[in-house]
Structure 1
């Protein structure tokens, strides 16, 4: 999937988000080493904070499809600027990330900022595999 196609697909999936409480829609995609991409959106509920972040949703979809490592994660939202995964999602990404896993945050204008998961979660915690 090209960067432009990914941007368009994430923007399209923002409409699937369920965010009646925060009104912030988030879509995410995760890519495994074999190139397969899995998508997720945030799903809020009244028992806040028991909802699901878009990144966690995408990781769950990947794991449910047998994908247990990530090389790239994309995040987009309805906010006017780029956003980054919350601390809990950074840990979730860390646990499945390959070394140097890229996290790409896409702003509504299509600009993309990139960091490694190591930069976003220095000294992250991982049990031996």
Structure 2
């Protein structure tokens, strides 16, 4: 595991530990790697990153409290991520830090994307 992936996975776990979810009691954590190497964390990492001026991303690590399987971002979050490109690396992370590497275009096939907005 590269140092950046190790840091990304660790930070998504830390973000999950800080999640505020009194009603659902389903803590989620995310850590987003920007194209310039910054890491942005929290459940709403993409919105925070955009608010901080980032628009290009290369990877995201996502976790929750489910221990026996890998869980990806929800459908709405996948669509928001897709607005910034489909070739992201996604690290689906278990609470013990193990992860599975996949890509956004695999998690959201046939997605609506910015290319659909191009005028003919």
TM-score (norm 2): 0.83
The answer to whether structure 1 residue 105 and structure 2 residue 107 are counterparts is: no
Structure with bigger strand share is 1
Q: Which has the larger displacement, 4-13 or 111-120?
A: 4-13
Would you say 1:34 and 2:36 are equivalent positions? yes
Matches of 1:9 and 1:68 in 2, distance apart? 20
Unaligned runs of 5+ in 2: none
Find the partner of 2:101 among 91, 114, 124.
114
Query: Is 1:92–2:94 an aligned residue pair?
Result: no
Q: Are 1:104 and 1:113, in contact at CA under 8 Å, matched by a contact in 2?
A: yes
8 Å CA contact 1:24–1:79 kept in 2: the answer is no
8 Å CA contact 1:7, 1:110 repeated in 2: yes
Q: How many aligned residue pairs are there? A: 113
> 4+ residue stretches of structure 1 with deviation over 4 A?
none
Unaligned runs of 5+ residues in structure 1 are 41-53
Contact 1:70/1:93 (<8 A) preserved:
no
Instruction: Tell me which residue corresponds to 2:70.
Output: 82
Distance in 2 (alpha carbons) for counterparts of 1:103 and 1:30: 9
In 2 relative to 1, CA 2–107 (structure 1 residues): closer, same or farther, beyond 3 Å?
same
